[in-house]
Structure 1
Amino acid sequence: MFSRQIIPAVAAIGCVLCAALSGVAASAQTSETPYWASISVSKVYMRVGPSMNYPIEWVYQREGLPVKVLRVNEGWRYVEDPDGMRGWMAARMLARTRAAIVIGEGAAEIKGEGNASAPLRWRVEPGVVGELGECTDSWCEFSVGGHHGFIEAERLWGDGEP
């Protein structure tokens, strides 16, 4: 008699747990798109479709590179890179950590504060990837290799609304 009562109770608890966990997984899959992400590993493949069965179009070896997530399909994300290339990456290779890449011509100035008259701290070349902090007005907090400062937002790809 005791086992007849326990088995249905355990089954009911299992069903409740499965339902709760599937709700969490579903909410993770339905993130509002577009949104910013960054490559979280040292090597990731961009594929032509959302599966390991699709051919590799590009190989990225740039941890921290920002990407714009345009669509979500189960464990895959349709992304756009800073050069405008689009394709599918495995979601587990991406992080929601905000990053940005320096764009434009010539070196960009990193200032001590978010304004043009602030003292110059250092310069960064186009292609430098860093951690993106808060952006206000036309300036963004930007950190590279432990160095921190402010850069004009127009010199970044990965800031603002995706």
Structure 2
Amino acid sequence: MNRTLRIVAAALCGLFLTQGATAQDRGPVTNLPLPRFVSVKAAEANVRRGPGLTHRIDWVFKRRNMPVEITAEYGHWRRIRDRDGAGGWIHYSLLSGVRHVIVDKDMLAMHVRPEADTAITARLELGVIAKLENCTPDWCRLRAGGYRGWVPKDTLWGVKPDEIRD
């Protein structure tokens, strides 16, 4: 009996340790890192209160390529969080690994190279959704409205501060 209690206690301790969020957490379904950024690929995507069709729809995304952050997985469902911190569950088939970001600064200058003193190719308005291409420690290359260029990483939502993309 005493041995059984120790085994159960050890199992519960392991369960609680896996519940704590660390930078190295992986999803139990996909084995991909949690949290991670993805995009909504559907023109309309229901966000539900829980992981399943029986759960109430809290709101609907109506904008394709909207970046969201996956914070948990349960079967075919992903718990997501948007730029405003609102969360809910969405079916995995409505999400895409193609990365997009939201511009967090109005009239953001898009540069030819990842340097502030280079030519400006375009200016992006606050809230523009752009395709994420490459990222250095401080800059990201985007594609939006037929333009390509580099912007400071800290002016975007949908990319981690330490994320590097080649």
Q: TM-score, normalised by structure 2?
A: 0.77
Aligned to 2:7: none
Give the Cα separation in 2 of the matches to 1:77 and 1:140.
26
Q: For residues 44 and 149 of structure 1, do their structure 2 counterparts lie closer, same or farther at Cα, with a shift above 3 Å needed?
A: same
- 1:27 is displaced (CA, Å) by 7.9
What is the number of residues matched between the two proteins?
Answer: 136
Root-mean-square deviation over aligned CA pairs:
1.7
- Secondary structure class of the residue paired with 1:29: coil
1:97-141 CA-partner distances (Å, limit 9, x unpaired): 11100013x211111111100101110111100110111131100
2:38 touches 2:67 (CA, 8 Å); kept in 1? yes
User: What are the ranges of 5 or more consecutive residues in structure 2 without an aligned counterpart?
Assistant: 1-26
> What amino acid does structure 1 have at the position aligned with 2:99?
R
Q: Greater helix percent: which structure? A: 1
2:111 touches 2:151 (CA, 8 Å); kept in 1? yes
User: What are the ranges of 5 or more consecutive residues in structure 1 without an aligned counterpart?
Assistant: 1-25
Which 4+ runs in 1 deviate beyond 3 A? Answer: 26-30
Structure number with larger C-alpha Rg: 1
2:141 is the alignment partner of 1:141: yes
Give the Cα separation in 2 of the matches to 1:70 and 1:34.
5
2:29 touches 2:74 (CA, 8 Å); kept in 1? no
2:76 is the alignment partner of 1:84: no
1:26-61 CA-partner distances (Å, limit 9, x unpaired): 985332211110001100011110011111111111
Aligned to 2:44: 43
Give the Cα separation in 2 of the matches to 1:31 and 1:72.
10
Aligned to 1:10: none
Give the Cα separation in 2 of the matches to 1:107 and 1:95.
27
1:30 touches 1:72 (CA, 8 Å); kept in 2? no
- 1:62 is displaced (CA, Å) by 0.8
1:51-97 CA-partner distances (Å, limit 9, x unpaired): 11111111111110111000010010000111111110110000111
Identity %: 28
2:38 touches 2:97 (CA, 8 Å); kept in 1? yes
- For residues 1-162 of structure 1, the aligned pairs below 5 Å read 29-104=30-105, 106-160=106-160
